[in-house]
Structure 1
Amino acid sequence: MKDNREPTVSVIIPCYNYSDYLPQALDSVLKQTFSDWEIIVVDDGSTDGSAEVAQGFIDLHPDQRIRLIRQANAGVSAARNSGIAAAAARYILPLDADDMIAPTMLEKTTAVLDADPDVAIASTDLFIFTDIEDLPPEVLPLPPYDRELLLQRLIMFYCSLYRREVWETVGGYNEQMDAGEDWDFWIGCAENGFDAHHISEPLFGVRNKDTGLHVQAAENDLAVRARIVANHSAMFKPLTCAWAQALLHLDQGSCRYDARVPDEILSRAGEMDQFLQVVMDLQRMARSQYYRIQELEKPVAD
């Protein structure tokens, strides 16, 4: 029988055409050592039966607090906002439908927020995994939370636990951001005085794919950074703000940044961050291993 009390954590899972991956994301929540949660799946106009997969999962687990919201396709930010608006818990954990969390993710992150009311966000290290069984996950450690470092690079990922009032104060995720919406959100948190704590343990798993928003972010790195600066101009130097405004008024193909500009966000803009380097390396390894397996299987098939 379902518990009618308000849960401590609402796990928000936007899903757009990830029917193959969604069950694994849902299973990772079911396996949590911390059980006082609800799941809200937001089907963002999928055309591959994702909503039916979600409903089937709900029917298989009638004793769990799992809900499905369906909406026309509006993007990951809008889907997260819809799910959080419907959430009942005081803590929010966004989780994309193609990713997963380690069994102690909720236990350890809720403990941080419960222990210190001055901490609004609990982030973790991450592990990057593939669908190839023999390829082990790659652990990516991240630095301790630092407000100034956050302005230079993405030091905590979207799947971090935070208090609901954080989302309310910031105004939710920017639905105009096609990429970098999580970084934009975290800078909005810093802008409003919210503090974060980092757990040096890989409790969040990112699925490594050849396509995805992280790849899109890498390909449009300059534009993403410029939009974040423009959205939070009070957080950056006037020169950086002028650069962002100038870039946003140019065609992407003609953009050039001046490496002499001292602000770190500009000097790093043309580089891939550590996460993206690991992702790309794993993609190359996965493809290489896949082709190697194909070659080895050819004599057997013949």
Structure 2
Amino acid sequence: MQKPIVSVIVPCYNQAEYLPGALHSVLNQSFEEWECIIVNDGSEDSTETVAQEWTQKDGRFKYIVLTNGGLPHARNSGIKEAIGTYILPLDADDKLAPNYMKLAMDEFKEDSKLKVVYCNAEKFGVEHGPWKLKDFSIKKLAISNMIFCTAFFTKKDWEAIGGYDVAMKYGWEDWEFWIALLKHGGGVKKLSYVGFFYRIKEKSMLQDLKETQKEELFNYMSIKHPDFYVRHVGSFQKLLKKQEELNKKNRLLLSNKKHALNVLCYSVFRWRPFKIRY
């Protein structure tokens, strides 16, 4: 068998019911030089049975078992075993479109400066339709994430930044990974092709994130990447100055609104000006 060019990494934690759909979407790729590493992250369901069925079906499917260590750890473990030049993470409940891999490889072949290739996406499950994300810019990436996990990058670049950060234990590990990968430069290409299908469920890990957990993640990312945030958002002094200017503008606006309302009341109803409390 030819050495694979793409390694698809599929972590699975108690998602056996969805796993065949994800693996079938890999098998259906028009680009055939791939391997797919299924990572059982300590599942207590039939993940192992499903995974072994697929390894017997096609030799390009491989299987490793871990004690439960969380999604970043599972992805890193799979990537360590990968022999492909390019990596494509795929969660066990999501799916790929047949030409996604081929179109991405064409882009990397055409532009050697690319670090990330991703695509348009659609939702399925309890919600259907296009997944509308902001267009990529490195400045916007400082504010919110617009690249889903199922995007292509090289194993070499993954090694250079130390992989996914296992400290991102509540989520957003993809966001932090893209910041680490792209903050010093590198091209990003979004295909117009709908190559990824994202399952929406009644409940997910990200939906369960509490405000205290979000704050902890934000604080950690800010401490880990201060150079990135200062460059694209601003220094603390600059942010404080902006906040003071905004507060001043709001106070002035509120004062003007009070004055305008007093004038209106007096001219229409011949009321005397009165003090408005908010």
TM-score, with structure 2 as normaliser: 0.79
Find the residue that maps to 2:142 and give its secondary structure: helix
**Match for 2:139: what amino acid?**
E
Is the 2:100–2:193 contact (alpha carbons within 8 Å) kept by the matching residues of 1? Answer: no
Matched, 1:139 2:135: no
Counterpart of 1:82 in structure 2 is 77
**Match for 1:109: what amino acid?**
A
Pick aligned residue for 2:243 from 212, 235, 260: 260
Q: Distance in 2 between matches of 1:145 and 1:225?
A: 20
Pick aligned residue for 1:202 from 194, 198, 215: 194
Moved more, 233-242 or 117-126: 233-242
Is the 1:15–1:44 contact (alpha carbons within 8 Å) kept by the matching residues of 2? Answer: yes
Equivalent positions of 1:126-205 (< 5 A) are 126-130=121-125, 137-178=128-169, 179-205=171-197
Q: Distance in 1 between matches of 2:98 and 2:216?
A: 36
Equivalent positions of 1:110-129 (< 5 A) are 110-129=105-124
Matched, 1:12 2:9: yes
| Unaligned segments of structure 2, at least 5 residues | 246-278
Q: Distance in 1 between matches of 2:208 and 2:160?
A: 28
Matched, 1:229 2:222: yes
Superposition deviation, residue 56 in structure 1 = 1.5
Structure of larger gyration radius: 2
Counterpart of 1:288 in structure 2 is none
Is the 2:39–2:78 contact (alpha carbons within 8 Å) kept by the matching residues of 1? Answer: yes
Find the residue that maps to 2:175 and give its secondary structure: helix
Q: Distance in 2 between matches of 1:218 and 1:128?
A: 24
Moved more, 232-241 or 15-24: 232-241
Q: Distance in 2 between matches of 1:206 and 1:218?
A: 22
Q: Distance in 2 between matches of 1:154 and 1:226?
A: 16
Is the 2:115–2:182 contact (alpha carbons within 8 Å) kept by the matching residues of 1? Answer: no
Counterpart of 2:208 in structure 1 is 216
Find the residue that maps to 2:29 and give its secondary structure: coil
Q: Distance in 1 between matches of 2:80 and 2:21?
A: 24
Pick aligned residue for 1:97 from 84, 92, 95: 92
**Match for 1:35: what amino acid?**
E
Find the residue that maps to 1:214 and give its secondary structure: coil
Sort the Cα spacing of 1:15 and 1:240 in 2 relative to 1 into closer, same or farther, 3 A.
farther
Sort the Cα spacing of 1:95 and 1:217 in 2 relative to 1 into closer, same or farther, 3 A.
farther
| Unaligned segments of structure 1, at least 5 residues | 244-258, 263-302
Is the 2:119–2:190 contact (alpha carbons within 8 Å) kept by the matching residues of 1? Answer: yes
Could you say what the CA RMSD is over the residues aligned between the two structures, in angstroms?
A: 2.5
Pick aligned residue for 2:68 from 42, 61, 73: 73
Equivalent positions of 1:44-59 (< 5 A) are 44-59=41-56
C-alpha offsets along residues 88-147 of structure 1, whole Å, 9 cap, x if unaligned?
Answer: 00000000001111111101111111111001110112111016xxx7x31123343311
Superposition deviation, residue 165 in structure 1 = 1.4
**Match for 1:102: what amino acid?**
A
Moved more, 223-232 or 173-182: 223-232
Q: Distance in 1 between matches of 2:210 and 2:18?
A: 23
C-alpha offsets along residues 254-274 of structure 1, whole Å, 9 cap, x if unaligned?
Answer: xxxxx9389xxxxxxxxxxxx
Is the 1:127–1:202 contact (alpha carbons within 8 Å) kept by the matching residues of 2? Answer: yes
Is the 2:138–2:183 contact (alpha carbons within 8 Å) kept by the matching residues of 1? Answer: no
Find the residue that maps to 2:17 and give its secondary structure: coil
**Match for 1:190: what amino acid?**
L
Sort the Cα spacing of 1:103 and 1:234 in 2 relative to 1 into closer, same or farther, 3 A.
same
Q: Distance in 1 between matches of 2:210 and 2:178?
A: 18
Is the 2:12–2:19 contact (alpha carbons within 8 Å) kept by the matching residues of 1? Answer: yes
Moved more, 22-31 or 234-243: 234-243
